[in-house]
Amino acid sequence: MTDRRQFMQQAGALASAAAIGGLSPSIARAQTAKLRVGMMLPYTGTYAALGTAITQGFKLAVEETGGNLGGRALEYFTVDDESEPSKATDNANKLVQRDKVDLLLGTVHSGVVMAMVKVARDNGTLLIIPNAGANAATGGQCAPNIFRTSFSNWQPAHPMGKVMYDRGHRKVVTLTWKYGAGEESIESFKEAFTKLGGSIAKEMYLPFPNVEFQPFITEIASLKPDAVFVFFAGGGAVKLTRDYAAAGLKDKIPLYGTGFLTDGTLEAQGASAQGLLTTLHYGDGIENAKNKQFRYNYGKKYGVQADVYAVQGYDAALLLHGGLNAVKGSFGDKKALYGALEKVKIDSPRGPWTMSKAHNPIQDIYLRKVDGNANQVIGVAWKALEDPARGCKMTAA
Amino acid sequence: MEWLIQILNSVQYGLLLFLVASGLTLIFGIMGVINLAHGSFYMIGAYLAFTLSSLTGSLWLALPLGIALSAALGLVLEWALISRLYRRNHLYQVLLTFGLILIFEELRSIIVGDDVHSVAIPAVLAASLPLTETLSYPVYRLFISAVCLALAGLMYVTIQKTRFGMMIRAAASNPEMATSLGLDIRWIHALVFAAGVALAAFAGMIAAPVSSVFPGMGNQVLIVCFVIVVIGGIGSLKGALIAALLIGFADTFGKVLLPEVASIAVYLLMAVVLLFRPLGLFGRA
């Protein structure tokens, strides 16, 4: 029987051995242990399809690298965040504290992601954001341990200001839901469009997720602007393009938007979306070998067409793989890991991109035109666009 | 001209809301059941319209099929679940029907998936009427309004002028007395519940071509339906019609004139009405 004194001595010896040994034992352990990945994504609710695509993209990349990332096998801890901001902090804390995950991967909804950002900042856990565009995540709330592989809301909307001005539109009406992503997109569009000399005839907002557009369509018809710029996604996007076309406005006052207006919804939109121009960091018909291979593999594995969300999930895994490879799979030296993640050049299906100082992709934004059931890329609207990362003061890890 | 069109928008939206809310006011007012799953029945209707019209190739065939299916669903639910709650506290009803929302959403996800769908407007009604040089009005929207008005009339006549309507009213105002006079209350409840479900599903079906079909669509209409029932006075169809029209106007003109408060215009209206008429416009103590 060991008495208390003996136990204390042994414990002390163990502790000092660990201290003297420095980081090497923990590194040795870390490399053999599985990487604990906390997936916090929506698997039910409005954004369920997006959560699924991101997960599938991520797992496809893992499979392509031989079932591991940076030499480490993975163990997944999955939470359905339901796109519900009120449950977000609890969900993220559960993954960090109960499941002791090495990193958080998530999510789609901007309100939920801001709660995850807070948890990541408080606990120092690595967070990789594979969709939500809230500017603040790589702006005012940026941090060494927070990375994004998708876009900031500022990014896809900004080039549209230039595109529409170049197409001769001077007086434009904007319409969106009154919530984060909508307001940030309109703000960014307006910034580019008015800087060139265009003017905004009226900014229209409706409460999220209300889809009764008729009053606005009536007002647009009487204001007769040169064009309309909108931010909508999912069911709202489908209803808007259909209502807009049914009111006979489609051919009289052209409609533009960020790519979310026509992504994954073209079948439901039918004729109402044909010919619409949108801007996004991905599209159909991007001619590079990586994209072709990615789309082929994704289609073969899951039986559905890859979309922008799948690409963002896929890139999250590529980012981790690249970063972990550079530090031999270790989470021991966080500073080295984050430094490595910053430097990874992602060979993405959307085209190669790099991380900005604020940890948001510096990427090409494509101009796309709806043709049948495809968002055909017809050009690059803005080459290597970097988010201005307003308010980002990166403090050392 | 713009204002006339906005008035048309308001009336058209209000009538559609009435159609959805009428089923709720029947179930809530006559049976005293708080049915949170009402929005789910609206969603089920829209998905039935999508599925059945792609199977049969016509919305006209999908409508009667969908009504029959949803009424049958209502009968089964009433028999299996709702009928056990009449004598219980409202809290049990809220819990049960909230659970139904989750079950229906999950079933929808498993059976049809999470994609957004649309339903084609039947060819006869696919035209648009030019109102101004830039704006046209889809004929189908006018058709919806006409259907809503016709149904409102039909419901009024059924409840106020027929023998069956008299039985429903008797069951609502004094169930014990109605039973002792020989009415089969259970049968009446089952029929009313099924009618409520069918009305909500019918609203979903007929609105599907303009609203499109997407996950979570039922939750959006649920709250505004409760607002209508409360403003109109619980159980009053006439009240629901007027309240729905008021909401149509508040929502449309709120968006155009006071966009800053558009999100709360509907609730402001409810607060003001309740301030002066705590039981709603046509509520009875």
CB contact (8 A) between residue B256 and residue A215:
yes
- The alpha helices in chain A, defined as continuous H runs, are 4-20, 24-32, 48-64, 85-93, 110-123, 154-166, 180-196, 214-223, 234-246, 266-269, 289-302, 308-326, 334-343
What integer pLDDT is reported at residue A336 of this predicted model?
95
What average pLDDT does chain B have? 92
What integer pLDDT is reported at residue A205 of this predicted model?
93
Rounded to 5 degrees, what are φ and ψ at A87? -100, 0
Q: What is the average pLDDT across B201-209?
A: 95
**A80, A176, A206, A214: best mutation site toward chain B, by most B Cβ within 10 Å?**
A214
Q: Is the pLDDT of residue B97 over 90?
A: yes
Between B31 and B40, whose confidence is greater? B40
Could you tell me the maximum CA-CA distance found in chain B, to the nearest angstrom?
65
Q: Nearest C-alpha of chain B: how many angstroms from A187?
A: 17
> Tell me, what amino acid is at B262?
A
Instruction: Quote the CA–CA distance of B147 and B144 in Å, as a whole number.
Output: 5
pLDDT category of residue B173 using cuts at 50, 70 and 90: confident
CB contact (8 A) between residue A211 and residue B220:
yes
Q: What is the average pLDDT across B51-68?
A: 95
In chain B, the percentage of residues whose pLDDT exceeds 90 is: 72
**Class of residue A171 by CB neighbours under 10 A (exposed 0-12, middle 13-18, buried 19+):** middle
What integer pLDDT is reported at residue A210 of this predicted model?
86
Instruction: Quote the CA–CA distance of A324 and A37 in Å, as a whole number.
Output: 13
Whether B263 contacts chain A with CB within 8 A: yes
What integer pLDDT is reported at residue A21 of this predicted model?
42
What integer pLDDT is reported at residue A30 of this predicted model?
46
A68-69 sheet: strands from edge to edge? A68-69, A72-80, A35-41, A103-105, A126-129, A146-148
Instruction: Quote the CA–CA distance of A162 and A166 in Å, as a whole number.
Output: 6
Torsion of CA B192, B193, B195, B196, to 10 degrees: 120
Whether B4 contacts chain A with CB within 8 A: no
Provide, as residue numbers in chain A, all residues whose Cβ is less than 8 Å from the Cβ of B211. Answer: 211, 239
pTM of the model: 0.88
What integer pLDDT is reported at residue A246 of this predicted model?
93
What integer pLDDT is reported at residue A156 of this predicted model?
97
What integer pLDDT is reported at residue A139 of this predicted model?
95
Which residues fall within 8 angstroms of residue A187, CB to CB, at 6 or more apart? A154
Closest in A211, A242, A253 to B118, CB measured: A242
**Class of residue A40 by CB neighbours under 10 A (exposed 0-12, middle 13-18, buried 19+):** buried
Could you tell me the maximum CA-CA distance found in chain A, to the nearest angstrom?
90
Give the residue carrying structure tokens 């106020």: B160
Closest CA to B243 of B253, B235, B254, B232: B232
What integer pLDDT is reported at residue A208 of this predicted model?
83
Q: Is the pLDDT of residue B240 over 60?
A: yes
Instruction: Quote the CA–CA distance of A86 and A103 in Å, as a whole number.
Output: 21
Question: In A, what residues contact B, Cβ < 8 A?
Answer: 44-46, 48-49, 52, 178, 204-207, 209-212, 214-219, 221-222, 224, 234-235, 237-239, 242-243, 246-249, 252-253, 264-265, 267-270
Instruction: Quote the CA–CA distance of A152 and A131 in Å, as a whole number.
Output: 9
Helix-strand-coil split of chain A, %, nearest 5? 45, 20, 35
CB contact (8 A) between residue A218 and residue B220:
no
For every residue of B122-173, DSSP letters joined together read PGGG--EEE-SSS-EEEHHHHHHHHHHHHHHHHHHHHHHHSHHHHHHHHHHH
Instruction: Quote the CA–CA distance of A172 and B220 in Å, as a whole number.
Output: 30
Cβ atoms of B19 and B151 within 8 Å: the answer is: yes
Helix axes B163-173, B185-211, angle to 10 degrees: 110
What stretches in chain A show pLDDT beneath 70?
Answer: 1-32, 395-397
What integer pLDDT is reported at residue A26 of this predicted model?
45
Closest CA to A39 of A25, A53, A28: A53
Provide, as residue numbers in chain B, all residues whose Cβ is less than 8 Å from the Cβ of A249. Answer: 134-135
What integer pLDDT is reported at residue A94 of this predicted model?
96
Between A320 and B31, whose confidence is greater? A320
What integer pLDDT is reported at residue A28 of this predicted model?
43
Give the residue carrying structure tokens 């807070």: A118
Cβ atoms of A261 and A290 within 8 Å: the answer is: no
